[in-house]
Amino acid sequence: MADPSLSMPDLATRKAAGEKLVVLTCYDALFARLLDGGDVDILLVGDSLNQVLAGRRSTLSATLDQMIYHAASVRRGATYPLLVVDLPFLSYQVSIEDAIRNAGRVMAVTECDAVKLEGGAAMVPTVRALVERGIPVMGHLGLTPQSVNTIGGYRVQGREDAVAEQLCADALALEAAGASSVVLELVPRALAAKISASLRIPTIGIGAGSGCDGQVLVLHDMLGLNEGFAPKFLKRYADLAGVVRSAVTAFAADVRAGRYPDDVHSFD
Ligand code: KIV
């Protein structure tokens, strides 16, 4: 069971105790209420919402106002898990001042517990500045979707020695800068396990094998709502797309046959 008094600084203690972290994305109050039952340690308002909910090609066009709207909705729905919010593209890369102002606004308006940002060495001064100003940070290494255009696609990162070494160094640098945890996305499992073993703070894997200290999945993907998306790492725990289709077919049949609304669902 998740711990209701968990805080971002406690994450390293959870790792030291060998307890895996359970993380899911969440974008709205309805799902947040469903996820508030104690199974989940951290809800992540990921900028993936731009693809999952808005049908965009990448996460790049997510805005700070959109992230705040969704994070505030999740906060209203869930009190139990920690709430981490993605800083969207260009809200933290232009200057440290921008990053502090934007991350601070996210924290103040949404009452989240931390922000997440992508990148390694180049982001270390920003992470340090945020943490020193009271803003906990979750890092994100490996496949960093905001850099998909320079990476050239959604590909596994760290198969080449030089890239693997850089990822190890980046993870250590983020920890030294004060990050409370780091997401490892699409990283070979041996490398992810090596990085995890080298850090005091937990790694949270997505497509990075079982050697990470926790796992995150996009909620809509693991519930089987996102039918077109089937990467190797994704395990579907339900077929909600099938449930939705059957329900709509049954409703349409009832309406056309005059079976709905019946006496039970009508007012006198
Ligand atoms: O935006 C997101 O949902 C994420 C997770 C995939 C880690 O960053």
pLDDT tens, N- to C-terminus, the chain (268 residues):
677 789 999 999 999 999 999 999 999 999 999 999 889 999 999 999 999 999 999 999 999 999 999 999 999 999 889 999 999 999 999 999 999 999 999 999 999 999 999 999 999 999 999 999 999 999 999 999 999 999 999 999 999 999 999 999 999 999 999 999 999 999 999 999 999 999 999 999 999 999 999 999 999 999 999 998 999 999 999 999 999 999 999 999 999 999 999 999 999 9
C-beta separation of 114 from 82 below 8 A: yes
In angstroms, what is the C-alpha Rg of the chain? 20
Residue labelled with tokens 């505030």 = 72
Q: Pick from 28, 59, 91 the residue to mutate for probing ligand 1's pocket: most ligand atoms within 8 Å of its CB.
A: 59
Element (H or E) spanning 69, and its range?
Answer: helix 64-77
Residue 137 falls in which region: left (phi positive, over 0), alpha (psi -120 to 50) or beta: beta
Q: Facing residues of 114 across strands?
A: 84
Report the Cα 223 to chain-centroid distance in Å: 15
- Check if 51 has its Cβ closer than 6 Å to any atom of ligand 1: no
- Check if 86 has its Cβ closer than 6 Å to any atom of ligand 1: yes
Which residues of the chain form CATH 3.20.20.60?
8-237
3-state SS assignment for residue 267: coil
Measured CA to CA, the distance from residue 166 to residue 187 in angstroms comes to 12
- Check if 218 has its Cβ closer than 6 Å to any atom of ligand 1: yes
The domain 8-237 is placed in CATH, from the list 1.10.220.150, 3.40.640.10, 3.20.20.60, 3.20.20.70, at 3.20.20.60
For ligand 1, atom 2, the nearest C-alpha belongs to 46
The Å distance, Cα 94 to ligand 1 centre, comes to 21
| 88-108 burial: b if 16+ Cβ within 10 Å, else e | bbebbbeeeeebbebbeebbe
What pLDDT, on a 0 to 100 scale, did the predictor assign at position 38? 87
CA-185 nearest atom, ligand 1 = 7
For ligand 1, atom 8, the nearest C-alpha belongs to 46
- Check if 216 has its Cβ closer than 6 Å to any atom of ligand 1: yes
Q: pTM, whole model, 2 decimals? A: 0.97
Residue labelled with tokens 């933290």 = 92
Is-catalytic flag, 185?
yes
3-state SS assignment for residue 216: strand
What pLDDT, on a 0 to 100 scale, did the predictor assign at position 2? 72
